[in-house]
Structure 1
Amino acid sequence: MTDLNLQEPPHGHGLADDLPLIAAQVARRRALKWFAGAGTAALVAGCGGSDGDASASVDVVTGATPTPTATATPTPTATATPTPTATTGCVLDPTETNGPYPADGTNTSSGSTSNALTASGIVRSDIRSSFLGTTTVAGGVKLTLTLTVVNVNASCAPLAGYAVYIWCCDRSGNYSLYTAANESYLRGIQVTDANGQVTFTLVYPGCYSGRWPHIHFEVFSSLSTATSGRYAALVSQLAMPQAASTAVYADTTTYPSSASNLARITLSSDNVFGDNTAAQIAQQTPTITGSVSEGYTATALIGLAR
């Protein structure tokens, strides 16, 4: 039995018979070709693939909702807390002359001893009174002086256990054991504490002719070595501040000649301080507060290279 659905339509074998069939097949192929081309063009346009259609590409990108990019929160960097140091910015103190009145065993004196460093009673904080022969108290404006001894080779670390010997003239410009031969005031020695500090109570020194007002000091590595100035690690001087000196010397009854002597001298013309650098002078000049009536408090650094 023949399946009619599989039979080809009847046709002749002549050209006239084939022309309608050929025309129908050509039309069908053209239609298929058109549909295929249209579909490809639509696909390309939808993907933004045309180099010449830049606007289409941009529109596709901007038309979409962008996915936000998470911004990482920076982790804070911990800042280390620096270890505090006793002082900063110290310089090496210059070596200065100990002058003609040291009473440290390096010269002779007209007083009761040429070496106060070996005398009983020299280790003291308040040095306003004599401790050899008399108990006379030096007159003048009270001055409390704290010195901090530091090592310039170790970030200004304090030097504990060092002995500091100081001396200065009295309000009239005289030195005990020499020009004030019967007296031993305004001399003393102390040992630095854990902070490298020593504190002395004295009077504001006078200003004598030819010198800027000053305080002498010597530093020794220990109290046991402080038996002679020959063993000193440093011999130097402090330059008193001009403003405080001017205020103190305005009382010409207490300080009879200091104002006129100060008027004739400057730091630059002084034969001790005149050749020092600005940094050295700044360190050698005590920082001072107070008043003539209440007394003054002063502090200063002493820089050693250890």
Structure 2
Amino acid sequence: MKRKEFLRGLGLMGIGSLAIPIINSCSKDNDSSDTSTDTGSDSGSSTGSGDCSVTNSETAGPFPTISPSSLVKSDIVMDRTGVAFTIKITVNNTKASCTALKDAIVDIWHCDKDGYYSEYGGTGMQSVNYTSVHFLRGRQTTDENGLVTFTSIFPGWYNGRATHIHVHIYNASGTSLLVTQIAFPEGANSAVALVNASTENGYTKGLSGYTYNATDNVFSDSTANEMAAVTGSVSDGFVLTHTINVAS
């Protein structure tokens, strides 16, 4: 069984349970270099341009939200600092010719600028203990256009993973439809490069040791329908737009 399929299975079996398998998705970075040919603005292609297939499913672990129903909010920043970031996700229904899916429940979570997750810590996987706080996690319900919007800060990164956002989508009745992840465009002028060079905003690691999408253990097979578009600037903040297709 391929490592990615194994990770997916473990992550999905753990959804909705406090006994979520804690799996090491942070495999050792190979110190890969960026092979992107993007020399333009900090943008990428968005899911759903003529493609009505279901977006790839991915593992929810190792840091899924423990009680997402308690985190109904659009501003998920809390006490975290970093470059301003707006997340706009549209959910479409493949069973209705990829028209907008209203009233879908969308949970998101991602790490802070230093690569740490709330609700976890004090272990080998994350030494800093954030088990009692819930930053950068939230839940919203899609509007008539299938859209949810979150206010956040631009994610940092940690060993073994490219910059990413986790998403879990349910139908209006609370039945799980899809667990997936959102990938970010990379390259010299990408938001990932610009933000991680922004030491004045607290992004102190740069990209030394960063794992790019091509060697990330989740995205390395393909990011075709998981790649977001990211626009903006460090001074004004960035906006991510992404479409996720589910079968509802």
TM-score (norm 1): 0.59
Contact 1:219 1:232 survives alignment (8 Å): yes
Are the aligned partners of 1:87 and 1:156 in contact in 2 as well (CA < 8 Å)?
Answer: no
2:184, 2:230 within 8 Å by CA — same for their partners in 1?
no
- Corresponding residue number in structure 1 for 2:57: 95
* 1:56-91 deviation digits (Å, cap 9, x = unpaired): xxxxxxxxxxxxxxxxxxxxxxxxxxxxxx974343
- Alignment partners' CA distance in 2, 1:257 and 1:171: 9
Letter paired with 1:252: T
Q: What CA deviation, in whole Å up to 9, does each residue of 1:185-241 have, x standing for no partner?
A: 10000000001110011111001111011000100002x52xxxxx42100100122
Moved more, 153-162 or 88-97: 88-97
Partner of 1:184: 134
- TM superposition shift of 1:297: 1.1
SS in structure 1 of the partner of residue 96 of structure 2: coil
Matches within 5 A, 1:122-201: 122-129=71-78, 137-179=79-121, 180-201=130-151
Q: Hey, what's the Cα distance between the residues in 2 that align with 1:206 and 1:91?
A: 30
Inter-CA distance 273–266: structure 2 relative to 1 (3 Å threshold): same
Distance 1:117 1:181 in 2: 14
Tell me the CA shift for residue 266 of structure 1: 2.2
Q: Which is bigger in relative contact order (C-alpha 8 A, separation at least 6)?
A: 2
Matched residues in 1 for 2:69 and 2:241: separation? 27
Match of 2:25 in 1: none
In 2, the alpha carbon distance for the partners of 1:147 and 1:237 equals: 12
Structure 1 residues 90 and 292 mapped into 2: Cα distance closer, same or farther (>3 Å)?
A: farther
Give 1:154 shift: 2.6
SS at match of 2:208: helix
Matches within 5 A, 1:238-249: 238-242=182-186, 243-249=190-196
For structure 1, the 5+ residue unaligned runs are: 1-85, 104-114, 130-136, 226-230
Radius of gyration: which is bigger? Answer: 1
Whichever residue aligns with residue 275 of structure 1, its letter is: D
Letter of the structure 1 residue corresponding to residue 161 of structure 2? R
* Structure 2, unaligned runs of 5 or more: 1-47, 122-129
Instruction: Give the aligned partner of residue 180 of structure 2.
Output: 236
Q: Look up the SS of the partner of 2:193 in the other structure.
A: helix
Q: Contact conserved, 1:141 with 1:204, CA < 8 A, in 2?
A: yes
Q: Give the Å deviation of 1:99.
A: 1.3
Greater strand fraction, Structure 1 or Structure 2: 2
**Distance in 2 between the 1:156 and 1:99 partners?**
28
Assess if the C-alpha contact under 8 Å between 1:87 and 1:157 holds in 2: no
How many residue pairs get aligned? The number is 189
Distance 1:259 1:87, change over 3 A: closer
CA distance in structure 2 between the partners assigned to 1:210 and 1:269 by the alignment:
9
- Contact 2:184–2:229 (CA<8 Å) still a contact in 1? no
The separation in 2 between residues aligned to 1:285 and 1:186, in whole angstroms, is: 20
Match of 2:203 in 1: 255
User: Do the aligned partners of residues 218 and 175 (structure 1) sit closer, same or farther apart at CA in structure 2, a change above 3 Å counting?
Assistant: same
Using a 3 Å threshold, how does the CA distance of structure 1 residues 153 and 87 change in structure 2: closer, same or farther?
Answer: farther
- Compute the displacement of 1:117 (Å): 1.8
Quote the residue 1:18 is aligned against. Answer: none
Q: Specify the SS of the correspondent of 1:233.
A: strand
Distance (Å, rounded) in 2 between the aligned partners of 1:297 and 1:239: 14
**Counterparts of 1:234 and 1:268, CA distance in 2:** 23
Counterpart residue number, 2:67: 116
Distance 1:155 1:297 in 2: 27
- Flag the structure with higher helix content: 1
Retained in 1: the 8 A contact 2:164–2:182?
yes
**1:155, distance to aligned residue in structure 2 (A):** 2.3
2:220 to 274, 277, 285: 274
